[in-house]
Structure 1
Amino acid sequence: MANNKYIYDPETLSYIPVENTLKSKLKKLVPYAIGGGLFGLGIYIVTAVFYFTPKEKLQAQQIKDMKSRQAIFIERLNEADKELDELAVLDDSLYRTMLGVIPLDSTQRMAGTGGSNSYEEMINSDIPSEIIDSYKMLDNLVAKMNVQKSSYSELFKEATINVNRLQHLPAIIPISNWDLKYIGSGFAPRRFHPILKRWRQHEGIDFIANVGTKIFAAADGVVSSARLSDSFGRVVEIDHGFGITTLYAHMSKFEVKQGQKVKRGEVVGYVGNTGLSAGPHLHYEVHVHGKEVDPVNYFFKDLTAQEYRAVVEKAQSVETCME
């Protein structure tokens, strides 16, 4: 009796027994089956996503660490490649210039880099592409380093042969209290002249300084001219031999005279504001075989590689010259 169920019939005022068929039983079980299935599926998803065996957890952490180290390795390779490119720029624009050696062209600089034949076996294997790219970057870096090493060996030989020529190169900054913040316009094909109010070529570099600041000879040589010019004011020119001359303009006072021999670092005059000048400064030029060249390329005795780059950037950023 306990398992029998009844429903009340108000018409007959009596209880009618309910038949407990298989269909009705199955119908009652459906909600429980669906709920249980969904619950089981949820447990499976949570387990699959968030639960690993200790071995799987260790492997996942190792993969994460390897990817992190790989990223650091790539970053350092890029930094080394950038530094090597900067050394190449200094080599061509500075060291080779001072020794009169022709700069290396891009084909020579890139000799031995590139190519994919040596990586075909790696590409066809299961090695990740990131690892293959690292090998390529490292090989290119080594090839460029070998080219730079050969270049330095060549320059060292030239330096030992041309010791006398090096003494006559304008290798120092010609002003005593130079500082990056006091550098004006640099060598450029087009600068605005503050007095003439027009754009024209600027054939040197301006050092802003107080009147009376000492000006030094950039190298050994002979004073070829110490004169008064309408545009340059008091100006001194020094012939250093080997086709190289330097010019120092807008002086307030001479300390040398024409025909006088001078040594590198000797005072030749003092900063002034003479000629077509917008303020006290030294306008300094370097000429090689009668052609104006960028003086910054010859400051190798006073500047580190980082300072050299900073001077170039500063001089190129100023659009208005002092004269």
Structure 2
Amino acid sequence: MAKVKYYYDPDTLSYQKIKVRKREKFRTFMLMVLAAFIFMILGFVVFTPVFESPKEKELKRELEFVKLNEELHSKKIEQLGKVLAEIQERDNNIYRLYFEVNPIPDEQRKAGFGGVNRYKALEGFNNSEMIIDVTKNMDILSKQLYVQSKSLDEIVKLAEDKEKLLAAIPAIQPVENKDLTRMASGYGWRTDPFTKARKKHWGMDFTAPRGTPVYATGDGVIVRADQTSAGYGKHIRIDHGFGYVSLYAHLSNYNVRKGQKVKRGDLIGFVGNTGRSQAPHLHYEIFKNGNRINPINFYYGNLSPEEFEAMQKAAQIEGQSLD
């Protein structure tokens, strides 16, 4: 049974019974419901961060894991960048310098990406700035690695060419010292054995008995093995590539044919006395880009310093050549 409430009426000097209307009861009820709803909302807002659901906890852990991974990736990219910088330094100042090619400028190595925004799809997320930064650094690193890879490909090619060049350059004496009678004449002005006039002698004469072996002084291809060139008699020409050609004249016989590939030290022919020659000997010349050059500078492959010095002194003596 509901309690009856009274109020004191000063006009009648007596207590009067309080009568509550239904409308007021309804309004009071609605206010209580509204207040309860408001308190519920406030409680949800205030206490939700404290009391997380399992799903929210899982998502939070995943987000923290993503952030940790991004930090680790950033550190790895930084470390790789340092390693790459060292390789680039060696590439420019050792490898490319050794092979006499221009270094790659930093502007080319570290050029950015112009034009459209490559990272627009990564914008609008909570960690967009961090993700874009890591992705951009990875792109820059990838481009630098590509440039460095191309440079190393070029270095490998240059190394192969350098190796071929070193093998191709005429670098040994065409007749062995043990087979020589003497080094008759060097490169320069000499007396012609037939006219007795001073004449430029374009090669070196190695005096040796007829049939003495003659060797290729560098790797190459036989481009001539005939006696149709005036004065040379039976002679051989080897194209070594890189602009070098060697010539072996006054031979008695051949051991090679035109078009054959030879290696340095291969037996190619034999000393003779054919053509414009006064006595058995080998006349030896070297051409570089079509111009005759002094062969004395190309015997580093099989002569000791003492032997080279002795040959140099003999070559400088002005006398009569044998052809």
TM-score between both structures, scaled by the size of structure 1: 0.49
TM-score between both structures, scaled by the size of structure 2: 0.49
